[in-house]
């Protein structure tokens, strides 16, 4: 795998891309980064977007192949990503995820729901009119989602303490087909412990949670 840091150059072409990013959010970011992998029809990379120098976006991209060169738009720093982890290693992490849950209705039909929007939609009248209380309830649901023991076991990791929520964002972008892309993302940070290095690294390569093509799922890690 390769971990790539991608920034936009100060060119006319990149200025046009910045305008697209400002107007169409995560879907524009997704389309922009795909230009670095012209042979990748399946979108086998995952990425994380952060605010860089002077408020310009910068991207961390995990890919199975090296990105192509595009000197008119991007500056790309690439390095092999082969972390060596052992059971019991503790890592500080940052992760943007789209928490969802599968719920079966009265007719036996299962549908996937955004965890935070599900709390908001089904809150009682008093809670809906209590913005602070509703925010706490939604954050509690997000923390319950990421700290679920079964989920953590599937990710090969555990928490000594619950992670913190840095921010919560509702995304609304439009695809070229005209269909809207709507979902919520939560930015977590905290400390995790590796329980199964192989499981963790396999999951790491795939990304965590859903909406991975829209900037969710790439975990930034460092040993402590």
List, for residues 71-119, the tens digit of each pLDDT value.
778 889 999 999 999 999 999 999 999 998 877 766 767 777 788 878 7
Number of domains present in the structure of the chain: 2
Please tell me whether residues 134 and 47 are part of one structural domain.
Answer: no
- Which pLDDT score, from 0 to 100, does residue 177 have? 63
Indicate whether 105 and 214 sit together in one domain: yes
Same domain, 57 and 119: no
Distance of CA 102 to CAs 65, 114, 137, Å? 33, 9, 19
Residue 210 pLDDT class (50, 70, 90 cuts)? confident
Instruction: Please check the confidence at residue 2 and state whether its pLDDT lies above 90.
Output: yes
CA distance 45 to 37: 9
| Residues 152-201: tens digit of each pLDDT | 999 999 998 999 999 888 877 666 665 677 788 999 999 999 999 999 99
CATH classification at residue 191? 3.30.70.1210
Mapped to the 3 state alphabet, what secondary structure does 63-91 carry?
ECCCCCCCCCCEEEEEEECCCCCCCCCEE
Q: Are residues 19 and 126 in the same domain?
A: no
Whether residue 156 sits in one domain with residue 47: no
Mean pLDDT of the chain: 86
Identify which of 110, 128, 121, 106 has the alpha carbon closest to the alpha carbon of residue 184. Answer: 121
Picking from 88-97, 131-140, 195-204, 205-214, which range would have the lowest pLDDT averaged per residue? 131-140
- Are residue 23 and residue 113 in the same domain, yes or no? no
Q: Are residues 132 and 200 in the same domain?
A: yes
Q: Where are the alpha helices (DSSP H) in the chain?
A: 12-34, 115-122, 125-128, 131-146, 149-155, 197-206
Which residues is 102 bridged to in the sheet? 112
Backbone angles phi, psi at 92, to 5 degrees: -80, 140
Distance between CA atoms of residues 197 and 52, nearest Å: 31
User: Is residue 148 a part of any domain in this protein?
Assistant: yes
Residues 70 and 95 in one domain: no
Sign of the CA dihedral running 110, 139, 224, 150: negative
Question: Please, are residues 92 and 220 in contact by the beta-carbon 8 Å criterion?
Answer: no
**28 touches 42 (CB < 8 A):** no
Provide the angle, in degrees to the nearest 10, between the axes of the packed helices 115-122 and 131-146. Answer: 140
Place of tokens 């303490």: 161
Q: Give residue for tokens 């209705």.
A: 105
Determine the pLDDT at residue 217: 95
Instruction: Quote the domain boundaries for residue 150.
Output: 90-223
Rounded CA-CA distance 82/93 in Å is 17
């Amino acid at each position: 795998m390769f971990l790539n840091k991608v920034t936009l150059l100060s060119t006319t072409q990149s200025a046009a891309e910045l305008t697209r990013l400002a107007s169409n959010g995560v879907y524009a970011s997704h389309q922009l980064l795909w230009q670095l992998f012209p042979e990748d029809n399946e979108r086998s990379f995952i990425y994380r977007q952060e605010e860089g120098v002077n408020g310009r976006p910068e991207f961390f991209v995990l890919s199975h192949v090296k990105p192509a060169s595009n000197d008119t738009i991007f500056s790309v720093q690439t390095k092999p990503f082969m972390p060596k982890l052992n059971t019991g290693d503790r890592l500080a992490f940052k992760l943007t995820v789209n928490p969802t849950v599968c719920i079966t209705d009265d007719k036996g039909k299962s549908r996937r729901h955004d965890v935070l929007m599900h709390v908001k939609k089904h809150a009682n009248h008093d809670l809906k009119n209590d913005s602070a209380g509703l925010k706490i309830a939604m954050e509690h649901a997000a923390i319950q989602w990421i700290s679920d023991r079964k989920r953590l076991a599937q990710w090969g990791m555990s928490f000594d303490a619950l992670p913190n929520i840095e921010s919560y964002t509702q995304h609304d972008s439009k695809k070229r087909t005209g269909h809207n892309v709507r979902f919520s993302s939560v930015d977590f940070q905290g400390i995790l412990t590796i329980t199964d290095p192989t499981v963790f690294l396999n999951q790491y390569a795939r990304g965590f949670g859903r909406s991975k093509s829209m900037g969710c799922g790439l975990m930034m890690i460092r040993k402590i």
